[in-house]
Amino acid sequence: MGQILFYILATITLGTAFFTIFSRNPIHSAISLVVCFFSIAGHYLLLNAQFLAIVHIIVYSGAIMILMLFTIMLMNLNKEDESHKSTASKIAATIAFCLLGIVLLAGLLRTKPVVESYFQSGEDFQSIKVLGQVLLNEYMVPFEFASVLLLVAMIGAVLISKKDKQKEA
């Protein structure tokens, strides 16, 4: 039964992820991303990680998606009003994206996980205390990378949505 549920959730996850990427309407993309997040929470439940499933639903399906929907609505994506970018700026953005990806991938590949021997303490590893210790001790750098990434994305969204003062005048 668990295997059938896994395949159903995997199909929903992959289908909605592809629809998120290839949909032309940003609102439809955001809604399919919410469904994708819920199906990923289902995967957490299959792994018996109830706390992660609930936090995933609260943080990603709730807060992050509301933030993304506000950003989409703030940007007012109309094709008529959209200024056309020059080819040089598109090439520069692509090169910058590729360089950033290479730097992040190189940093990820060069880091080595801390391998320690864990002893059986009989403690519940799904408790918030143990999860907080692991998250803020062993995985502090990825945790901070995620927060910086969200901050940069928010600043970028605000800068993109900022109206040009010359166009209004």
pLDDT tens, position by position, 59-108: 888 887 777 777 777 776 655 555 677 888 888 888 998 999 899 888 88
Whole-model pTM over 0.75: no
Q: How far is CA 52 from CA 132, 147, 153, in A?
A: 12, 18, 24
Q: Are 43 and 6 in contact (CB under 8 A)?
A: yes
pLDDT tens, position by position, 121-156: 666 656 667 777 777 788 888 878 888 888 888 888
Q: Predicted confidence band at 118 (pLDDT cuts at 50, 70, 90)?
A: low
pLDDT tens, position by position, 17-51: 999 888 888 788 888 988 999 999 999 999 888 88
**How many whole angstroms separate alpha carbon 140 and alpha carbon 152?**
18
Please name the residue ranges forming H helices in 47-86: 50-56, 65-75
**How many whole angstroms separate alpha carbon 156 and alpha carbon 71?**
10
Residue with tokens 């109206």: 163
Domain ranges of the chain: 1-82, 113-169
So what's the pLDDT on residue 135? Answer: 76
**How many whole angstroms separate alpha carbon 126 and alpha carbon 47?**
12
**Is residue 118 classed as helix, strand or coil in its secondary structure?**
coil
So what's the pLDDT on residue 114? Answer: 65
Residue 14 has pLDDT above 90, yes or no: yes
Residue with tokens 């990680």: 49
Comparing CA positions, the residue from 83, 4, 11 lying closest to residue 40 is 11
Q: Are 39 and 13 in contact (CB under 8 A)?
A: yes
Domain 1-82 has CATH 3.30.930.10: no
